[in-house]
Structure 1
């Protein structure tokens, strides 16, 4: 949650030059590629190369970036493994974190288009017995837009402290939800379903359960046949239950602990994140997903516009059904989603017309930190800066 808030607050400032200092001039990093297109309104290749300069550094061990739309550019920098110093892999797989929520939202909206789920139907109807009598009716749409009034569920502790020590333990999604239900709903003035947007993981954990109940199938298989295959995402998957490994080519992920020590966090049982943040992917696959989604090939256009590209009528809302709206000023708006797991920061974002797209995976040693990773900040600025700058 902290990373999402930091990203949301900074993107608009970054592209106008406030809130981040320009990177010092640096030679092109190893692994960076020239722009595929030289069109004048295409990506600023020099700025993107500069954004990746100097890796690895104290905060970041590696980065993978793909910019597309009108022209394209992709680059990589840093090292795949601190112990060996070997260079980055363009096709590296990584933990995609909360970008998984966009897949979950797409699955729910597909089922809504098929009349298998009613977005105005309630959790109490679809998952009887999950919530106690303390809860008001909560609709599927309120889960999608983070307006359910559910409190956070159980966790294994902060990733930079006891969470690291507990990284091989299993906490099931049902355990996570049970702990939320035991706390009861948020209470107080203005609280309750549909009255306040409060970003968190619990809503999408419940949506994963709802998908399984509606399809009589596993969430993971539904994601594969309904999203990954249609979008051509051949290198995207979910771990097998509590499997802590990333299979296939990947960069090691590192986490700085409260003690100051930097530890290898690559192997980590993320099964409690499930439909919230357990996806493993590549920048190329996430770019395919972004384009297919925005073109209406994953979610039918009417639902796509009404649910994913429209904010709920709640004061201060920035999140739709799985996406976040970033206003860059001067009539420029992008929609996207960030994600963070220990050792891995991810962002997918694009203008609505797909004239500019951005996908990155940044190996940050404080991926869940309160401030945006400096390399990620430079990349966002370079990717979405006005053409005249």
Structure 2
């Protein structure tokens, strides 16, 4: 593995990027910096008016000032009956004047789980899977015989207690050594590890459950998870820029390069991390998409085009349990927020259902009100993998869902 090391001090890197951004005009979809772009949504077949001026200003401010020491670039797409706005900031490649493409493809990380959840629930709808039947019925050789029954519903809602392989793929030292390793489906699990809790008692968010969900899809259909997702969701919705890449390490088509800021001998350089084998993340976090495709997906999901109401209700129901925190102190317990493939949160009095996801160099999210009046998709090119959600993402979400949305 070769690391691209430009041997420039971090201060010089930032200065060069800022200079490039100024010269390039920090171009968004329109020819001006961070310009709002009214647009028609192919998914809802309506002409979309611009967002109110104050909302546009808030979004422009949310992604202004890029690149900086934490983020190289960003793109934002806000859509819905209340108006539309699209904008980008920063640069697509270190040291260049090229802006982040509005149609950029990016690694969506754990937003993949939403696609896997829909795929499983489609199989539930057609009678191929029973949500309340133990996973052991479908995958009898997956878990040790002494494990208690774990239902499909518990797998989809992260309440199984299962554990994944004990590796931190977002730790730079691990990533640089193993970024091109190939993992076969199921190797991402530690099935011999004890359950974190009895199934159904707590919620523990992670990839393990959705690796099991991918195995379930393959077992029931007799086909690869990637192909089932394509045939079930991507092709019917015309999501031509979205892929489940398998072991392909590249992002094909327009995209912003991803970097990690690495300090050696007192100097910080940007190392290109765009390419990596996504098989470790597989059915939990491997997919690549665009803002336009993800918006189309949200519209199809919440308008009932992907699932019957009974199965959609499963995605809109958070289990009534506490989040697993590793201790037995009930005074610091926090209620679960994840459903089957989605997360519920309230902002400015608005209830939003969506999903975030990140991979090295990419931190992203999608979310919508269930009436589709306001929808958001964003991608931020972070420079420090494995860190909490960057501040810019929080600003974007807050600006996209103001009061009275």
- Relative to the length of structure 2, the TM-score reads 0.83
Residue in structure 2 matching 1:33, options 35, 51, 62: 35
Correspondence 1:213 to 2:219: yes
Q: Name 1:225's counterpart in structure 2.
A: 231
Query: 1:309-320 counterparts in 2 under 5 A?
Result: 309-315=316-322, 316-320=335-339
Give the distance between the partners of 1:51 and 1:329, measured in 2 at CA. 17
Encode CA deviations 1:197-234: one digit per residue, 9 max, x unaligned: 01000000000000011111111111111111222211
Structure 1 residues 376 and 156 mapped into 2: Cα distance closer, same or farther (>3 Å)?
closer
Larger relative CO (CA 8 A, sep 6+): 1 or 2? 1
Aligned residues: 352
Q: Is there any run of 5+ residues in structure 2 with no aligned partner, and where?
A: 1-24, 29-33, 39-47, 323-334
Q: Does the 8 Å contact 1:155/1:171 carry over to 2?
A: no
Could you say which residue in structure 2 is the equivalent of 1:65? Answer: 76
Match of 1:255 among 260, 269, 284: 260
Secondary structure at 2:73 match in 1:
strand
Deviation at 1:66, TM superposition (A): 0.4
Q: Flag structure 1 segments of 5+ consecutive residues without an equivalent.
A: 1-27
Structure ID, larger Rg:
2
1:308 partnered with 2:315: yes
Cα distance, 1:56–1:194 mapped onto 2, change above 3 Å:
same
Conserved in 1, the CA contact under 8 Å of 2:250 and 2:276? Answer: yes
- Cα drift, residue 366 of structure 1: 2.2
Shift of 1:303: 1.3
Paired position in structure 1 for 2:382: 364
Deviation at 1:41, TM superposition (A): 6.1
* Post-superposition CA distance 1:328-352 (Å, at most 9, x none): 253x210110000000011010111
Give yes or no for the alignment of 1:350 onto 2:358: no
| CA-based RMSD | 2.0
**Residue 53, structure 1, aligned to residue 64, structure 2:** yes
Partner residue of 1:243 out of 244, 248, 269: 248
Q: How far apart, in 2, do the equivalents of 1:56 and 1:320 lie? A: 35
Asked whether the 8 Å contact 1:344–1:363 carries over to 2, the reply is yes
The Cα shift of 1:156 comes to: 6.2
Q: How does 1:77-226 map to 2 (within 5 A)?
A: 77-155=89-167, 157-177=169-189, 180-186=190-196, 191-226=197-232
TM-score by length of 1: 0.86
1:373 pairs with 2:379: no
SS in 2 for 1:124: helix
1:347-385 per-residue CA deviation (whole Å, 9 max, x = no partner) reads 010111111100001111124303x21221221111012
Equivalent of 2:356 in 338, 351, 371: 338
Find out whether 1:282 has 2:290 as its counterpart: yes
